Amino acid sequence: MEEYAREPCPWRIVDDCGGAFTMGAIGGGIFQAVKGFRNSPAGMSHRLKGSMTAIRTRAPQLGGSFAVWGGLFSMIDCGLVKVRGKEDPWNSITSGAMTGAILAARNGPVAMVGSAAMGGILLALIEGAGILLTRFASAQFPTGPQFDEEPAPMAAPSAPFGDYRQYQ
């Protein structure tokens, strides 16, 4: 997971945006295929057609909202890296919360706070899982050179992780 270093900062935005779009489109394709299949009237051709329609209409939408999330997230992340001068999990958590807040901005302050809390909690969970995984992985392969300190600033596990909820 930490084998691939994340892209250096300005390019990370593009990378995350595209990665998030792909992730959302593929994942949305899978889920919408099932959903369209189940919601269609009986008959195999109807079901397949319904499934295709659901994929065509919804998967790009989901990919788009993932891309918005991922792009805004890493934009804020890069801003924080520049401002604070270091890269640590707090960057990701803060930018997750801010992304949630910004994307809910048109729904009023209450929605902004709720959405920010959700983004922050999610990113904190993901970062925590990443840290645990790094510990586990470095304990699992004791043949490798031992890290004498915390192994590097944790890269976000799957960097472009967009929230799967839609904020629209």
Binding site for another protein (CB under 8 A): 1, 3-4, 19, 22-24, 26-27, 30-31, 118, 121-122, 125-126, 129-130, 133, 141, 143-145, 157-158, 160-161, 164
Relative orientation angle of helices 89-103 and 44-84, to the nearest 10 degrees: 120
For the bound state, the minimum distance from the C-beta of residue 154 to another protein, rounded and expressed in Å, comes to 13
| CA pair distance 29, 121, nearest whole angstrom | 27
- The DSSP annotation for 26-86 comes to HHHHHHHHHHHHHHSPSSHHHHHHHHHHHHHHHHHHHHHHHHHHHHHHHHHHHHHHHHHS-
- Smallest separation, CB 46 to another protein (Å): 26
**Shortest approach of another protein to residue 75 CB, angstroms?**
19
Q: Alpha carbon 106 to chain centroid distance?
A: 22
Residue 155 in tokens: 């890269």
* Nearest partner of 31 among 51, 61, 45, judged by Cα: 51
Q: Smallest gap, in angstroms, from Cβ of residue 27 to another protein?
A: 5
Residue closer to another protein (CB basis): 49 or 128: 128
Q: Which is nearer to another protein, 62 or 102 (CB)?
A: 62
* Angstrom distance (rounded) from CA 73 to CA 64: 14
By beta-carbon proximity to another protein, the closer residue of 16 and 87 is 16
C-alpha 25, offset from chain centre: 13
**Nearer to another protein among residue 102 and residue 118 (C-beta):** 118
Q: How far is the CB of 122 from another protein (least distance, A)?
A: 6
Task: Kindly tell me which of 30 and 105 has the beta carbon lying closer to another protein.
Answer: 30
